[in-house]
Amino acid sequence: MIPLLACSREAQHPSPDARFADAGEAPAATAGAVIWMRHLLKTAEGKAIYARQKFTVEPVFGIIKQVMGLRQFLLRGLKAVTGEWTLVCIAYNLKRPHVLAALSGRVGR
């Protein structure tokens, strides 16, 4: 899968004309990466990949940043940061089933 990155802020609720507009022709081979990414995001395939990316990956990072409070690493160096990130991922993976179980009402029975 091709990673897609937003090139700029988009309107939250685009008009139907903007939402269903044709992507047009592909830019020239000499065009920059930003122009290629903008074109790819306008295609039907690009929209589908970007939409899937929003609900599979981004919420995890949002929870880690906002709920768990990891805004910056406390340690320095690749090995130390890798260890710190591993601990954060373990904590997330241990916490998530309990949160989901509480939401479904299965905790305390």
More confidently predicted of 89 and 15: 89
Q: What are phi and psi of 75, to 5 degrees?
A: -100, 165
- Say whether pLDDT at 6 is over 90: no
Q: Is the pLDDT of residue 51 over 60?
A: yes
Tokens found for residue 94 = 């241990």
Domain boundaries, the chain: 16-56, 59-104
pTM of the model: 0.47
Predicted pLDDT of residue 107: 55
The yes-or-no verdict on residue 78 having pLDDT over 80 is yes
| CA-wise closest residue to 84 among 70, 98, 67, 95 | 70
Sign, CA torsion 22/55/63/2: negative
**What's the pLDDT band for 80 if we cut at 50, 70, 90?**
very high
